[in-house]
Structure 1
């Protein structure tokens, strides 16, 4: 059975009843996968990226319970442990990169790796839309954060901005 499909199934089960959080994860996954394919990311990195994109916000539930907050840095702190449990239950091997990506998806400095860059861009694309981000803020993030050709193209076209 396809591990990505099983992981999505687990995400939905974990976030039972929270259609907003489930939808967010699925949209980030879709953008991340599409950008990665168009950027010609290898299969191994694509698999890790898809897995991280699905689980990137998995720590929010714990953060809300523990800290009454969904702060990005708290998500980075709590998310990897929750993700580890889910990944190990699905018999994932070599999960360190996935956990790294989940534990850094709100850190925008020293971005090492195309998978990391793409995850950040995909999350921003979805957040811009979901949060009705104003054009000037989008342009600033576009200029300072977006690096991939495809991510930049998507951002320009989706939000009708010029570089």
Structure 2
């Protein structure tokens, strides 16, 4: 049991079902678990038993997780997350990246919130573009979007902004593109992403203000998601006719254009 104080990890907020029993796969002896324990050793046969219902709660993404539950417990949860069933890995990778992004940005809520907004739009566009690709839409790329690449790029696309401000006294996009990829690579290598995923995400981060240099659906989805957040700050959204032309010119995917017009303009095309 941890000494966590926040509601996500504090046992006083748990429900009765958060403590349960599991049969040891070796000797069938009963092993008691709390929901946040990745594993326990069977007291009868001494075999290590994995918790099949381990609940990471907020510990995988909260920037205060290490302070809250301690380094040892956090490392246990991190290790357990990497052994989750295949269908859970997408959620877990996203949670881990969010944790690392928020830890890197520290108290910079503006950049953290921006990344989360871009992530939200990226997930919406990803769903629409995947559906369009599956239906053979001629407007989509020859290769479907990869959720892991898109989500990772959405979370890390602006990760170089602090370094850019430190080195160049500017947050300009071209400086972010220089400083972002090395930081993104370190984070993703730490979390043991596959090299090909890391390489593609870093390529997107290196060009996320430079459309045309990377011609993949993964890039286009991230690019449009970023613009869905930034559009109101870069263009006059009051002039609907001009805005529609701007959206058609700037956005790269049909779903991005449709969503931008629905949010800022006169509705989808």
Structure having greater relative contact order (Cα 8 Å, sep ≥ 6): 1
Choose which of 67, 78, 88 in structure 1 pairs with 2:179: 78
**What secondary structure sits across from 2:188 in the alignment?**
helix
Partner of 2:164: 63
Structure of greater Rg: 2
Runs of 4+, deviation exceeding 6 Å: 41-44
Partner of 2:251: 146
Distance in 2 of aligned mates of 1:147 and 1:30: 18
Partner of 2:235: 133
Instruction: Kindly indicate which of the two structures has a greater share of residues assigned to strand.
Output: 2
Partner of 1:155: 260
Distance in 1 of aligned mates of 2:173 and 2:244: 21
Choose which of 147, 150, 161 in structure 2 pairs with 1:49: 150
Structure 2, gaps ≥5 residues long: 1-80, 82-91, 134-142
Q: Alpha carbons of 1:44 and 1:109: their partners in 2 closer, same or farther (altered >3 Å)?
A: closer
Choose which of 125, 128, 141 in structure 2 pairs with 1:35: 125
**Contact between 1:128 and 1:138, CA under 8 Å: does it hold in 2?**
no
Corresponding residue pairs, total: 162
Residue 34 of structure 1 deviates from its aligned partner by 1.2
**Contact between 2:121 and 2:225, CA under 8 Å: does it hold in 1?**
yes
Residue 145 of structure 1 deviates from its aligned partner by 2.3
Distance in 2 of aligned mates of 1:20 and 1:3: 23
Structure 1, gaps ≥5 residues long: none
Distance in 1 of aligned mates of 2:100 and 2:213: 31
Partner of 1:8: 98
TM-align CA RMSD:
2.0
**What secondary structure sits across from 1:39 in the alignment?**
helix
State the TM-score, normalizing by the size of structure 2.
0.56
Are residues 1:21 and 2:124 paired? no
Instruction: Kindly indicate which of the two structures has a greater share of residues assigned to helix.
Output: 1
Partner of 2:208: 105
Residue 144 of structure 1 deviates from its aligned partner by 1.4
**Contact between 2:248 and 2:257, CA under 8 Å: does it hold in 1?**
no
Distance in 1 of aligned mates of 2:214 and 2:127: 19
Distance in 2 of aligned mates of 1:53 and 1:157: 21
